[in-house]
Structure 1
Amino acid sequence: MGLLFPAIMCGVFCYLGAIESAPLFGITGSFYGVGRPLVAGLLCGLVFGDVTQGVLCGVAVQAVFIANLSTGGATNSEITYASYGGIGLAMATTKDPAVAVTLSVLVGQTFGLIFYNTRMAAYSFFNNGAQKAAEENNDRGITLWHVVYPQICTFFLRAVPVFLAIYFGQGLVDSLLNSVPEIVTHIISVLGGVLPALGIGMLMNIVVKDKIQLVFFFAGFVLLSFAGLSMVAIVFIAVLVAYLVYLSSAKVAAPAVEASGTANSADAAYEDDDLF
């Protein structure tokens, strides 16, 4: 009975974190709020009674998926399933962030994608019903096919699988971790620690446009590892440096824009409108 309530709440949060739940919280509050691993770690920590470990698991999983992108509706991992399925299952077993990362990747890239694509297929059926209701000027039918039925479908495809995975998967995960050799458990922990670094690397590949910008990342690493500064202090330093770089870039760009505008004005003075 002790696992029933946390499993139910993780399933409900997985539903509330879906982009389809936007009518409840808006896209920012649902998909970009409740659906993020960092928030999922906090919520899972609250329902399992260990906020510290929940947040640590959330931070680790967030680092893995920090550069996760969906292009044209296609995605390589379903982040909401990964958040609540992986973190919730880890909180029900070891509460180890490395295990949470491994489980999140496994859940997000297997079961998450299966149910994600199932939802996409079901929604095409709902769209046909909504279109037919619109052609018949059936307001009630439009509401049912466009809002009610999709929400019910989303709830069952998100809340139920996550609940079942956490409630019945605890024993399976515990038995696997207890039965496998220690070297395998160590490999899982090592890989779980490497995956967040891979996520940060993918993010840097997107953000860094010029190799000279890597200097700022190395400076932050030195300040954290050797100078002993806290992360909060480094954030303030980073904000000041970013502001100085912005000011210097603006001062360099302004004369170039003015020169370009002057040249265009000079060219315009010699233009003959009758020629065009």
Structure 2
Amino acid sequence: MNLALLFPALMCGVFCYLGAIESCCLFGMSWGYYVMGRPLVAGLLCGLVFGDITQGVLCGVAVQAVFIANLSTGGATNSEITYASYGGIGLAMATTKDPAIAVTLSVLIGQTLGLIFYNTRMALYSFFNNGASRAAENNDDRGITLWHIVYPQICTFFIRAVPVFLIVFFGQGVVDALLNSVPEIVTHIISVLGGVLPALGIGMLMNIVIKDKMQLIFFLAGFVLLSFAGLSMVAIVFIAALVAYLVFLSSGKSAAEPEAQTVADAEAHAVYEDDDLF
């Protein structure tokens, strides 16, 4: 048992709780789910607690690319992103600090343990809702507070913080044993697959964002500028902003021309109208 992992593992669990959509500490969605719950932020925070910010951010970037198009339809989700962020990145930082391994662990944890605890939480919250409804019918302010705020927050903390803490604290030995016992070719395959998953996430995002195949030209132009021209991301952002502005101006002009033509035709037609006839 490595006691040096105690504090980082504990903090990963606390961060996972703060990143929950129902966490009241950071206003739920505003600063919790959409800030603390993002893999990119999780990579930075895990890097801070493990003392290696650079590798933490690299792991966060890789995992963020995988889940960049992650969508939840109603109450259904295909992966629990906060478990994936802090469980996967935290465990990777406790072992290899390899972004590809972080991606593999995040997908594994998010789609297995994450979904198990996510569905457990949904079932428990229906029970809390019934208690809050009964308290409201009886005008019980204290009962409403307990069932609507206190009990759900305690449940969320234990369902999120405790599993992630155990994963990071006790998972180091399991991961190290697996990596040391399996053949090198298997480790290489895991790293390669972990490197491919971010590309899959970006592809899923493109499938959502790109509505017209002509828009692929802009994506390919940016890829060429980055990969072959050697431009930095900052330079490409400025070029993209300029191109977007030019496209906006051209589309606005082309849309305004038919409208102007319609107005001109109406005015020309009005010249020959006699008000006395209508």
**Same fold at TM > 0.5:** yes
Q: Which of the pair has more CA radius of gyration?
A: 2
Separation in 1, partners of 2:65, 2:45: 17
Shift of 1:21: 1.0
Contact 1:98 1:190 survives alignment (8 Å)? yes
Q: Secondary structure at the match of 2:56?
A: helix
Q: Rate the CA distance shift 1:263–1:117 in 2: closer, same or farther, 3 A.
A: farther
- Please name the residue that 2:39 is paired with: 37
Contact 1:22 1:31 survives alignment (8 Å)? no
- Please name the residue that 2:276 is paired with: none
Shift of 1:255: 3.2
Separation in 2, partners of 1:131, 1:252: 56
Letter in 2 for 1:177: L
Pairs within 5 Å for 1:40-79 = 40-79=42-81
Shift of 1:240: 1.2
Bigger Cα displacement from structure 2, 195-204 vs 14-23: 14-23
Number of residue pairs matched? 268
Match of 2:187 among 185, 188, 195: 185
Shift of 1:246: 1.4
Letter in 2 for 1:95: K
Separation in 2, partners of 1:74, 1:255: 46
Separation in 2, partners of 1:108, 1:26: 20
Q: Secondary structure at the match of 1:3?
A: helix
Shift of 1:254: 2.4
Give structure 1 regions of 4+ aligned residues with deviation exceeding 6 angstroms: 260-266
- Please name the residue that 2:117 is paired with: 115
Letter in 2 for 1:197: A
Pairs within 5 Å for 1:205-224 = 205-224=207-226
Separation in 1, partners of 2:50, 2:265: 67
Q: Secondary structure at the match of 1:90?
A: helix
Contact 2:20 2:28 survives alignment (8 Å)? no
Bigger Cα displacement from structure 2, 251-260 vs 17-26: 251-260
Q: Rate the CA distance shift 1:26–1:19 in 2: closer, same or farther, 3 A.
A: closer
Contact 1:126 1:149 survives alignment (8 Å)? yes
Q: Secondary structure at the match of 2:27?
A: helix
Pair 1:94-2:99 in alignment: no
Contact 1:37 1:83 survives alignment (8 Å)? yes
Separation in 2, partners of 1:113, 1:223: 40
Letter in 2 for 1:30: G
Separation in 2, partners of 1:26, 1:260: 50
> TM-score normalised to the size of structure 2?
0.92
Gaps of 5+ in 1: 271-276
Deviations 1:59-105 (A, max 9, x none): 00000000000001100000000000000000000000000000000
Percent identity of paired positions between Structure 1 and Structure 2: 82
Q: Rate the CA distance shift 1:198–1:51 in 2: closer, same or farther, 3 A.
A: same
Q: Secondary structure at the match of 1:62?
A: helix
Q: Rate the CA distance shift 1:153–1:258 in 2: closer, same or farther, 3 A.
A: farther
Gaps of 5+ in 2: 274-278
> TM-score normalised to the size of structure 1?
0.93
